[in-house]
A and B are shown apart, each in its own frame.
Chain A
Amino acid sequence: MSLLSIRNLQVHFPVNQGIFSKAHQVVRAVDGVSLDVEPGETLGLVGESGCGKSTLGRAAIRLIAPTAGEIHFDGRDITRLSSGDLRPLRRQFQMIFQDPYGSLNPRMTVEEIIGEALDIHGLAADASARHGRVAELLSDVGLDASHANRYPHEFSGGQRQRIGIARALAVEPKLIVCDEPVSALDVSVQAQIVNLLRDLQDRRGLAYLFIAHDLAVVEHISRRVLVMYLGRVVEGGEAREVCRAPKHPYTQALLSAVPAVDPATKRSRIVLTGDVPSPINPPSGCPFHPRCPVAQARCRTEVPVNRDIGNRRQVACHLV
């Protein structure tokens, strides 16, 4: 059974215009996405800015209220649970944020930051148990127990991200939603955090919903990957397969645009024209058709459904 199972999830935000007006338009940030995360696996979610990947990640653990659709966690429908009913469940799904500078309270020590999570869920019997547990968590993420009394500003970006990971781990979750956890870090430190996340997964059997715009990082860490465009999933499958033989024209362009360090890697570049359209007024038919190099008449009118094409691959394109 899947740990996290999402069916046809929609998240729409109203756009208010003028001073008195009601909401006339909606941003379709997530527009009918289904996905499954198995226990202990990593599902990668890639896409460019504005494609709805972060909104999806937050809605998946009910940090944003979904407009429609269903979210099941560990077999239980959490789509419409009240926040009181949700709180004990929150132990099981945690989140790591992109900005290690903005996501830690600057006035709290590391021990207070991590200990707060323990307190909320009543996981430490007394102060000494709490202290010991914080030290344990710090060493799990490669920090020193003596760091517990310091403040976030005393740490580098990579170390702060480790603190954020320790905080998420404190409540022993089954799933961690990682929203761009390495994109604010220096290249040399990025690899440390990716390796740490993998080690923790091996040791604790964690599942990750790993959101990133960097395809190479996602391919590296994920078993399966979903590619999003304008609030929808356009392609999905085994990470290695999707990156080796992309089927959807958008995935093909996205992959070809990644600059390679090794000059021997020759990629024939597909340069897309135009920008990502607005999710307020998405194009008719296939949302990608205005930028698609192979679009046909049908693509302008008919929305392609996400089809299973075998070998655990799914593609939303008329031409595949």
Chain B
Amino acid sequence: MSTDTTPLLAIRDLRLDFVNGDRPLRALDGVSLTVHAGETVCLVGESGSGKSVTALSITRLLPSPPARVVGGSILLQGRDVLQMAPRELRSVRGGIVSYVFQDPSASLNPVIRIGKQILETLELHRPDAANDAEVVQLLKLVGIPAPESRARDYAHQLSGGMQQRVMIAMALASRPKLLVADEPTTALDVTIQAQILDLLRDLKQRTGMAILLITHNLGLVSEIADRVAVMYAGQIVEEAPARELLARPLHPYTRALMDSVPELGRDVTRLKAIAGNVPQLGAWPTGCRFHPRCPKAIAACAQHNPELSLVEPAGSSRLVRCPYWNS
């Protein structure tokens, strides 16, 4: 982690609504997240938990309306993104923070050769390096064989894994400090997923950039993350160093989520499912958001929503949003 005291990214108490008619729907409810330079942080959650909304709001990529930030701050290298003028914001997008999304075939332009698309990014962010040699260099960096001829391909001529490599090359073209990867391997097969994870790990070593990986797959956490934050219904319910969290999940949701995943070679006759469904936006339960599905819920859980607070199990310090984590 960084010796610099200013974190690369510091989201503080972010609250965000989607305005639907005259009724605002709360999507993020006090999200705080810090990413230091060179660190890999995983944001884990199920659909509708707000993980992608968090990722997109880092550079205000959500269209407004319907999205509306109603509180909190997003500090990128100490500067508040929420206060930035459009011009400054443009230099941040791609310049400091780059994105890789889930579906590479939808993210690439189908009628422009991929080399040209990478060149566009270079022209925008590093005009002095905007040449074919640099494009080939980037394609080589992400492990695309025969980069000279591949640069002349269109997106449809590449497989899904290769398309995702191109997306990563494009994201890296501007030499970002933070790469936000939103479910980058979800659309890919497992053998290709393994290739992309190896690539991300290797690139992080070589470029020293930080990675914020958004995923629903807890398996990826142990593969790549230094630190992990678990989201449920618009809030972070637990945050910890990856190893500690996986070895000892403290929040009942994290525990239940880990138990519900079938693991290879694990001889269980019955999976431990979580009862009920993920609550929908605008229909979050009162009190602790997880209490209707929580196996350990008591009457008090329905009354007030607990704070994300620092606890100290066995000498380590961890953040958890459950006062009964120890019971």
Contacts and interface: CB of A to CB of B under 8 A. Distances in A.
B256 A188 contact: yes
B222 A216 contact: no
Interface string B224-268: 000000000000000000110011000000001110111111011
A273 B242 CA distance: 28
A150 interface: no
A271 B273 contact: no
A124 interface: no
Given A158-B277, A263-B242, A263-B246, 15 more contacts: A156-B278, A186-B216, A187-B261, A190-B273, A194-B271, A216-B261, A220-B262, A243-B264, A253-B191, A254-B191, A262-B263, A271-B191, A271-B194, A271-B195, A275-B192
A265 interface: yes
Given A188-B278, A220-B268, A259-B217, A48 B262 contact: no
A48 B247 contact: no
Contacts of B280: 156
Nearest to B253: A188
Contacts of B191: 48, 253-254, 257, 271-272
A195 interface: yes
B278 A195 contact: no
A191 B275 CA distance: 10
Nearest to B243: A263
| Most interface-central of B192, B197, B216 (chain A CB within 10 A) | B192
A158 B274 CA distance: 12
B278 A259 contact: no
A217 B173 CA distance: 38
B263 A187 contact: no
B273 A188 contact: yes
A253 to B, nearest CB: 6
Contacts of A275: 159, 161-162, 192
Interface string A168-205: 00000000000000000011111110110010000000
Contacts of A217: 262
Interface-centre pick from B219, B260, B264, B267 (highest chain A CB count, 10 A): B264
A276 B262 contact: no
B89 interface: no
Given A186-B216, A272-B191, A215 B246 contact: no
Interface of A: 48-49, 156, 158-159, 186-192, 194-195, 198, 213-217, 219-220, 240, 243-244, 253-265, 269, 271-273, 275-276
12 contacts: A186-B278, A187-B257, A187-B261, A188-B278, A189-B274, A191-B260, A217-B262, A253-B191, A259-B220, A263-B222, A269-B194, A273-B195
A272 B273 CA distance: 33
B194 A191 contact: no
A195 B273 contact: yes
Q: For the side of the interface on B, what is the size category? A: 35 or more
Nearest to A265: B263
A261 B261 contact: yes
B205 to A, nearest CB: 16
A179 to B, nearest CB: 16
Closest 6 CB pairs between A and B?
A: A259-B219, A191-B273, A191-B271, A48-B189, A188-B274, A257-B194
A213 B189 contact: yes
Contacts of B47: 186
Contacts of A48: 189-192
Interface of B: 46-47, 159, 161-162, 189-195, 197-198, 216-223, 242-243, 246-247, 256-258, 260-265, 267-268, 270-275, 277-278, 280, 293
A260 B219 contact: yes
A269 B222 CA distance: 14
B221 A220 contact: no
B25 to A, nearest CB: 17
B246 A187 contact: no
B263 A260 contact: yes
A156 B260 contact: no
A240 B268 CA distance: 11
A191 B161 CA distance: 28
A262 B222 contact: yes
A254 B190 contact: yes
Contacts of B264: 215-216, 219, 243, 255, 258, 260, 265
A189 B198 CA distance: 29
**Listed residue (B162, B189, B195, B267) with the most chain A CB atoms within 10 angstroms of its CB:** B189
Contacts of A159: 277
A219 B267 CA distance: 10
A189 B263 CA distance: 16
Given A213-B190, A259-B222, A189 B277 contact: yes
A254 B190 CA distance: 7
A195 B270 contact: yes
A156 B275 CA distance: 13
Contacts of A188: 46, 256-257, 260, 273-274, 278, 293
